[in-house]
């Protein structure tokens, strides 16, 4: 396991280290001298100093680099699906029609060109078809998420067809070579879909492609090559290395289907060092938890699992955030009554301030299977928070507080606790940190609860002590006066104003929590002065 983990990490680092060379526009290639076995072609690697790779079967070109006959895909679309007498012998990908009874077994394959294979596999001509495309692999075997996704799709759509595309042989090469093969996998899938449409008049409006990592780009390429557009492509954290700056023809893009939705769950670091692609590549691009480390995937969780289970699951921790995109989609299939809500926002920083919890004009949407198909001229970036485990849904709140003070006072990185009490439940001691707190200013921030507390009735606010001793705090205690706290629910869109029970609450560091109850009369939103300015600010952050 240690060797496997080390190899996986080296492959990722290798791919990342060559990102700029792979995406360079300089494609002047020098043929490498390599002897391939009889019947094998020679792939000229334009990127690395590795030996050129040999490939089996007849292929025409690759995403990056060049084949020995000199063809290059970067300037033009070379791989169009042929019209009439299509030769299916060149298809190397396999199409396994999984069953609800055995979601983890390849019991029957649909073979392009062989009409009888559909009847033998009990393909349902009148139902939806899901096409699942896996990503890069070290072991050459399916990962554990594949049967889980298949099972969830069948539970949600029992009469559907769930097809798993097997391109494991190509996917277990060095990462750069597997990335190049996505074009060929996409071509295979496109030929298969076109054959289904032409031979059986199967409507492409029933086709939904789901691709993970490299598989997301293979799905996009397939969608770009079919003669008619497929209904939908879902990109599950599309791979970043070699694709962040790539042309739309050779990666997932909004033009590849009638509707393209994308989940980004591992986009840490600079764009050329990110495991998942950072830029939006769909009609709707959702960044759970900002698109960075996902809850439960941090170093602390890794150390806990190692202490409990040893190194057995370390391989899973390496890809925990990357693979979270799949489990979020599975969650949307299994928990239909608990859809996670995402909110349109220009930046994750604005979202963290709670400035984007609006559902006006399609500014909020469901994550996953039941996403509302909103297509705009520009890519739509959306954000949300999630739990660490299924069900992932949380409840978002914007909190706005005006801190009064007689003296000018500013503190940075201040820890607070807030407790919310509602008609259904309560959520106590929600920790948050304000980057800055100043006298006579209003601050907005985002909090979330893991339970539905219903309509809000009361809240408590406490200013925590610093973890270190401060002479200034000891010598001159800090106190803010707070009269009201405004809270907006993202899920219900309801706004509530809370008043201090004493008219004004004195909030001191390290002292008791201040209690606020619903004001007897909820004020009407005003359109002048500061309220108007705040409204404009929120709208600016929400517009994408």
Average pLDDT value over all residues in the chain? 83
The answer to whether residue 165 scores a pLDDT higher than 90 is: yes
Q: Kindly indicate the confidence band of residue 17, based on its pLDDT and cuts at 50, 70 and 90.
A: very low
Percent of the chain with pLDDT over 70: 74
- If pLDDT is split at 50, 70 and 90, which confidence band does 404 have? very high
Any catalytic annotation for residue 322?
yes
pLDDT of the residue at 502? 84
Q: What does the DSSP 8-state code read for residue 276?
A: B
Among residues 333, 313, 319, the alpha carbon closest in space to that of 150 is found at: 333
Handedness of CA 333, 336, 342, 343 (dihedral sign): positive
pLDDT at 49: 31
Q: pLDDT tens digits for 297-327?
A: 976 666 666 666 665 555 566 689 999 999 9
Query: What are the structure tokens assigned to 200, written together?
Result: 């059986």
Domains and CATH numbers, the chain: 94-384 (3.40.50.1820), 395-467+476-519 (2.60.60.20)
How much is the pLDDT for 405? 87
From 143-152, 351-360, 405-414, 454-463, the region with the lowest mean pLDDT? 405-414
pLDDT in tens, 221-259: 999 999 999 999 999 999 999 999 999 999 999 999 999
Q: Does residue 331 have a known ligand-binding role?
A: no
Amino acid 54: pLDDT: 45
Parallel, antiparallel, or unpaired: how do β-strands 161-166 and 129-133 relate?
parallel
| 100-109 tens-digit pLDDT | 999 999 999 9
Mean pLDDT throughout 474-500?
Answer: 90
**pLDDT greater at residue 11 or residue 30:** 11
256 is in an annotated binding site: yes
What are the two backbone dihedrals, phi and then psi, of residue 330, each rounded to the nearest 5 degrees?
-60, -40
Residue 278: predicted pLDDT: 96
Beta strands in 318-425 (DSSP E): 341-344, 364-366, 380-384, 395-403, 410-422
Residue with tokens 């239909």, as numbered in its chain = 336
CA-nearest of 243, 180, 167 to 45 is: 180
69 is catalytic: no
**Catalytically annotated residue among 283, 322, 396, 541:** 322
What digits encode the pLDDT tens for the residues 504-539? 999 999 899 999 999 987 655 444 344 444 445 455
Q: Out of 61, 93, 178, 213, which one is annotated catalytic?
A: 213
Distance of CA 543 to the CA centre of its chain: 20
Report which DSSP code applies to 255: G
d(CA 266, CA 278): 8
């Amino acid at each position: 396991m240690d060797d496997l983990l080390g190899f996986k990490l080296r492959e990722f680092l290798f791919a990342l280290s060559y990102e700029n060379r792979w995406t360079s526009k300089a494609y002047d290639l020098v043929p490498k001298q390599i002897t391939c076995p009889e019947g094998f072609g020679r792939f000229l690697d334009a990127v690395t100093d590795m030996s050129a790779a040999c490939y089996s079967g007849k292929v025409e070109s690759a995403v990056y680099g060049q084949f020995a006959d000199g063809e290059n895909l970067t300037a033009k679309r070379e791989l169009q699906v042929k019209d009439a007498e299509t030769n299916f012998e060149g298809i190397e990908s396999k199409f396994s029609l999984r069953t609800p009874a055995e979601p983890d077994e390849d019991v029957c394959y649909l073979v392009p060109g062989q009409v009888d294979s559909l009847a033998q596999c009990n393909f349902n001509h009148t139902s939806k078809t899901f096409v699942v495309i896996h990503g890069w692999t070290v072991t050459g075997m399916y990962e554990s998420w594949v049967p889980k996704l298949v099972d969830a799709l069948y539970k949600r759509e029992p009469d559907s067809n769930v097809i798993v595309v097997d391109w494991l042989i190509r996917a277990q090469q060095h990462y750069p070579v597997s990335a190049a093969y996505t074009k060929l996998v996409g071509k295979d899938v496109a030929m298969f879909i076109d054959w289904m449409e032409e031979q059986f008049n199967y409507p492409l409006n029933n086709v939904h492609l789901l691709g993970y990592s490299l598989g997301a780009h293979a799905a996009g390429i397939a969608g770009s090559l079919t003669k008619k557009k497929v209904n939908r492509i879902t990109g599950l954290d599309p791979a970043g290395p070699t694709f962040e700056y790539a042309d739309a023809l050779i990666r997932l893009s909004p033009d590849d289907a009638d509707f393209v939705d994308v989940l980004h769950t591992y986009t840490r670091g600079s764009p050329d060092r990110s495991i998942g692609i950072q830029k939006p590549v769909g009609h709707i691009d959702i960044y759970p938890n900002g698109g960075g480390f996902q809850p439960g995937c941090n170093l602390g969780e890794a150390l806990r699992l190692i202490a409990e289970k040893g190194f057995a699951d370390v391989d899973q921790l390496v890809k925990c955030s990357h693979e979270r995109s799949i489990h979020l989609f599975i969650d949307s299939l299994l928990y239909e009554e608990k859809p996670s809500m995402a909110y349109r926002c220009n930046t994750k920083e604005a979202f963290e301030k709670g400035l984007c919890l609006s559902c006006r004009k399609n500014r909020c949407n469901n994550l996953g299977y039941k996403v509302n198909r909103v297509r705009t001229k520009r890519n739509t970036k959306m954000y949300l928070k999630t739990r660490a485990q299924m069900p992932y849904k949380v409840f978002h709140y914007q909190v706005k507080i005006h801190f009064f003070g007689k003296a000018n006072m500013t503190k940075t990185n201040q820890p607070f606790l807030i407790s919310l009490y509602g008609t259904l439940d309560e959520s106590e001691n929600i920790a948050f940190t304000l980057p800055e707190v100043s006298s006579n200013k209003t601050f907005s921030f985002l909090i979330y609860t893991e339970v539905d507390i219903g309509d809000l009735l009361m809240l408590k606010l406490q200013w925590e002590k610093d973890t270190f001793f401060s002479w200034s705090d000891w010598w001159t205690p800090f106190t803010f006066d707070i009269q009201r706290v405004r809270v907006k629910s993202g899920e219900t869109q309801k706004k509530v104003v809370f008043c201090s029970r004493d008219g004004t609450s004195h909030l001191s560091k390290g002292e008791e929590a201040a209690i606020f109850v619903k004001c007897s009369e909820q004020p009407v939103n005003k359109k002048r002065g500061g309220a108007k300015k705040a409204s404009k600010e929120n709208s600016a952050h929400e517009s994408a």
